[in-house]
Amino acid sequence: MRNTHFEDGKWWVSPYNFVPEVRDSMTLPPQVQIHDATLRDGEQTPGVVFSIDDKIRIASKMDEIGVDRIEAGMPAVSPQDAQAISEISKLGLKAKIFTFARAMKQDIDMALECGADGVIIEVPIGYPKLKTQFGWTWEDVFRKSRDVINYAREQGLYAVFFPYDTTRARAEDLENLCKGIMNESPPDSIGIVDTMGCATPEAIKYMVGWVKGMTGLPIEIHTHNDFGMGVATEMAAVAAGAEVVHSCANGLGERTGNAALEELMLGLHLLYGYDTHYKLDKLPELGDLMAELANVPIARNKPVLGRGNFIRESGIGIQYVMHDPLVMFGTHPALTGRQGEVVLGKKSGKQSIAYKMDELGLGELTDDQSAALLNLVKQKGIEKRDLLSDAEFTELLNQVRNAA
């Protein structure tokens, strides 16, 4: 694990991430695995439907990037889901393949038929779910889970016990359930699930310690983004010792989505200092594939993938965008397969003009010409309420030269 905030020419993040006062307050596990749920929770984004071929393409690209586990779907949903999982299992990917299952023997049998390595055994434990949706007590949940966890493990599957809506569970329900399963049917790991994305990073840290203390199991964190904290809560869980983070590419998922795969990869590698094997420069290929297949465009200001992340209009410091990007950005654009870009508009400065002249090979200007051109560029930006195209810039340049 690295203890540095800087890697020459690649990134320069806050050194305070690594000061002993901060590091000593964390209990980072030696390694963290990414379990990506795009093919299940990502497809739960209303209106998103992936074909079998789409799922194979997505899983293959994720494997290339270094995702450790792929939750390839829930076979109970449709025969097409089951077929997609079977085909992905046969690809011989490095990633382990998981399915999503209710606490039902038939769902475990389907996981086995699909050739999966592991299974996420989901049961409700949040109090609103138990009380209103299911009319179950924690004992009902325990009775349904016990034999199914044991059956899955006996069949050689890696069993993740996934009591969802964990962050809205009553403490006594979660404690009783954890004790019960540890006595009679210990799984391989346990999920803490912020189904409604409504817990703070501090609460999640507390819960990781609490559930680890009760079970001694590896912790898997699965969060949603309803308060804009999906990634922050997963990072907090890791800081408290969680070993597996669940993600969805492009932050897809129910409602506001799940913790975004690409943001977690950068967070783990750069902000926490894990020496990961992720191919960060391939992330835009996955991002573009997801946007196309899900038909959900990437927001311009989306962390890691947004088109606007490495574009600079504001004049101050513009000369560094291309030549010394870590002055202007926390990461070099090339780290994530991108390029810096200088654009012209209302907020341009003298250096922006010099940069564009050079980029387009338009020759030299006197200081007075440059000042006049900057004025015209700003006026055009204000009038258009947008950026200038290269053609518009060249036209203004010709006006300035012709006026001489």
Ligand X SMILES: O=C(O)CCC(=O)C(=O)O
Binding site for ligand ACO (CB under 6 A): 44, 74, 76-77, 102-104, 122-123, 144, 164, 195
63 binds ligand X (CB under 6 A): no
Backbone angles phi, psi at 206, to 5 degrees: -60, -45
**Total site size for ligand X, rule CB under 6 A:** 9
- Give the residue with the Cβ less far from ligand ACO, 65 or 108: 108
**Minimum distance from CB of 43 to ligand ACO (Å)?**
9
Q: Tokens 């800081």 correspond to what residue?
A: 239
- Give the residue with the Cβ less far from ligand X, 4 or 256: 256
Q: What is the 3-state secondary structure (H, E, C) of 328-363?
A: CCCECHHHHCCCCEECCCCCCCHHHHHHHHHHCCCC
- Give the residue with the Cβ less far from ligand X, 222 or 302: 222
- Give the residue with the Cβ less far from ligand X, 100 or 355: 100
Q: Tokens 């992330």 correspond to what residue?
A: 283
Partners of 248 in the beta sheet? Answer: 260
With CB cut-offs between 5 and 8 Å by kind, which of ligand ACO, ligand X, none does residue 159 bind?
none
**Minimum distance from CB of 44 to ligand X (Å)?**
5
Among 13, 43, 44, 119, binds ligand X (CB under 6 A): 44
**Minimum distance from CB of 116 to ligand X (Å)?**
17
With CB cut-offs between 5 and 8 Å by kind, which of ligand X, ligand ACO, none does residue 41 bind?
ligand X
Binding to ligand X by CB under 6 A, coded x per residue (else -) over 240-259, reads --------------x-----
Backbone angles phi, psi at 220, to 5 degrees: -110, 130
- Give the residue with the Cβ less far from ligand X, 44 or 331: 44
**Minimum distance from CB of 102 to ligand X (Å)?**
10
Reference 262, options 279, 275, 244; nearest CA is: 279
CA angle 381, 386, 392 (to 5 degrees): 60
With CB cut-offs between 5 and 8 Å by kind, which of ligand X, ligand ACO, none does residue 279 bind?
none
Using CB atoms, what's the residue nearest to ligand X? 195
The pair of three-digit structure tokens given for residue 68, joined into one six-digit string: 């450790």
> Residue 42 to residues 80, 123, 225, 246, 289: CA-CA distances in angstroms?
16, 19, 13, 11, 13
Among 54, 68, 107, 122, binds ligand X (CB under 6 A): 122
Instruction: Determine the residue type at 6.
Output: F
Taking residue 339's Cβ as centre, other Cβ atoms within 10 Å add up to 11
**Minimum distance from CB of 193 to ligand X (Å)?**
5
- Neighbouring residues of 356: CB distance < 8 A, sequence distance ≥ 6: 342, 344, 362, 390, 393
> How far is the C-alpha of 160 from the C-alpha of 119, rounded, in Å?
6
CA 68 to centroid of chain Cα atoms: 14
Binding to ligand X by CB under 6 A, coded x per residue (else -) over 165-194, reads ----------------------------x-
Q: Are 125 and 181 a contacting pair, CB within 8 Å?
A: no
Partners of 70 in the beta sheet? Answer: 36, 97
With CB cut-offs between 5 and 8 Å by kind, which of ligand X, ligand ACO, none does residue 104 bind?
ligand ACO
The pair of three-digit structure tokens given for residue 167, joined into one six-digit string: 């962050």
222 binds ligand X (CB under 6 A): yes
SS3 297: coil
Q: Tokens 């992905």 correspond to what residue?
A: 88
With CB cut-offs between 5 and 8 Å by kind, which of ligand X, ligand ACO, none does residue 193 bind?
ligand X
Using CB atoms, what's the residue nearest to ligand ACO? 102
Among 13, 32, 38, 41, binds ligand X (CB under 6 A): 41
> How far is the C-alpha of 346 from the C-alpha of 381, rounded, in Å?
5
> Residue 218 to residues 34, 211, 340: CA-CA distances in angstroms?
13, 10, 40
- Give the residue with the Cβ less far from ligand X, 43 or 262: 43
**Minimum distance from CB of 37 to ligand X (Å)?**
7
**Minimum distance from CB of 354 to ligand ACO (Å)?**
56
164 binds ligand X (CB under 6 A): yes
- Neighbouring residues of 22: CB distance < 8 A, sequence distance ≥ 6: 16
Residues of this chain that bind ligand X (CB under 6 A)? 41, 44, 122, 164, 193, 195, 222, 224, 254
